[in-house]
């Protein structure tokens, strides 16, 4: 590609500017699509993670309910069982809150990376435009 550019600059080849412009515009479009697809992928990951967390939470709640009912039947002490259930649910809530926070942090990191990539792309695009001129 550089050799072709040299040939054009020295006058050995004509019409390369148009060809280069077409190629650059094609690459711009491809890169733009790839950058935009990252936002879609992040959104899909968020949705999948939310669904997974919700499913796990419901599963844990069901397991907790079953274990509490079994203990309640064995002990017969309703007040102690309710307190134990409350503690378990609080523990699960803390776990889910931690997971949600981690997902939120990962999401922020991915968005930051996406913005950095966009800035790098635009900077490279500007550099290329300066080289073409």
User: How many Å apart are CA 125 and CA 133, to the nearest integer?
Assistant: 12
Which of the residue ranges 4-18, 55-69, 74-88 has the most confident prediction, judged by mean pLDDT?
55-69
Higher pLDDT: 128 or 86? It is: 86
- Angle at the Cα of 27 (from 119 to 41), degrees rounded to 5? 60
Of 110, 131, 107, 130, the residue nearest 35 (C-alpha): 110
pTM: 0.38
pLDDT confidence of residue 99: 92
Q: Are 68 and 88 in contact (CB under 8 A)?
A: yes
Q: Are 123 and 12 in contact (CB under 8 A)?
A: no
pLDDT surpassing 80 at residue 110: yes
What is the rounded average pLDDT for all residues in the chain?
A: 84
Task: Match 């890169």 to its residue by tokens.
Answer: 31
């Amino acid at each position: 590609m550089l050799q072709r550019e040299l040939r054009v600059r020295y006058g050995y080849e004509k019409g390369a500017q148009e060809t280069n412009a077409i190629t650059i515009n094609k690459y711009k479009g491809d890169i733009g699509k790839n950058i935009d697809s990252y936002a879609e992928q992040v959104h899909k990951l968020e949705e999948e993670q939310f669904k997974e967390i919700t499913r796990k939470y419901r599963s844990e709640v069901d397991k907790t309910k079953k274990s509490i009912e079994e203990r309640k039947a064995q002990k017969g002490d309703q007040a102690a069982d309710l307190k134990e259930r409350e503690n378990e649910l609080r523990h699960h809530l803390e776990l889910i809150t931690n997971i949600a926070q981690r997902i939120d942090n990962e999401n922020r990191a991915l968005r930051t990376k996406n913005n950095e990539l966009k800035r790098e792309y635009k900077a490279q695009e500007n550099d290329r435009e300066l080289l073409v001129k």
